[in-house]
Structure 1
Amino acid sequence: MIPYKIPEEKETLLFYAKLLGDRKSEAIIVRNSIENKQEAVHFAEFFWGMVRESNKQDEISGESSEYIFEKLIITLMGYFRSSGYEEEWEEVLNRN
């Protein structure tokens, strides 16, 4: 289970999965877990795509998503590590 610290983390992930039309990430979020290496790579790529999109959204709205994204990166890095997908997270991180 992805260990969210606050409910807004999951809500933010779902918001961006829907905004970006990413049904695979949406399913991972709803299920609350990654089941294999392919999903791990996909979800890590989704996260970094979400960061890029949030920067665009922040420019449009004049608001800042920095707080929630700091929470999310800590949660997801810990989850990837504890679930055995740290290598996949690092691989995607190095490409972004």
Structure 2
Amino acid sequence: QTDSELIEAVVLPMTHKDMFDTIGIKPPKGVLLHGPPGTGKTLLARACANQTNAIFLKLAGPQLVQMFIGDGAKLIRDAFELAKEKIESGTSAGAILFIDE
């Protein structure tokens, strides 16, 4: 069931954006995958990126809790900036930012 929900929430809006625009449906801006380690969350996110020709950026949660205030936020800003550059240059059709535990 998770596979079909991800296809509806992530893959279809990215691969058929025109259809969603035509009927006025706004796709979700994010998806939360949760579960115990080793259940395939990263694999599913990578598969979505592959199906949509999107860049896959993976950040580790512990990286975001840095020693100095603002370092974690800078890492996230940098990831979004990289994704934006890839999309604008035509290298990528979209972006999936995956924050792992």
Normalised TM-score (structure 1):
0.35
Bigger Rg over Cα: 2
Structure with a larger share of its residues in strand: 2
Structure with a larger share of its residues in helix: 1
More relative contact order in 1 or in 2 (CA 8 Å, sep 6+)? 1
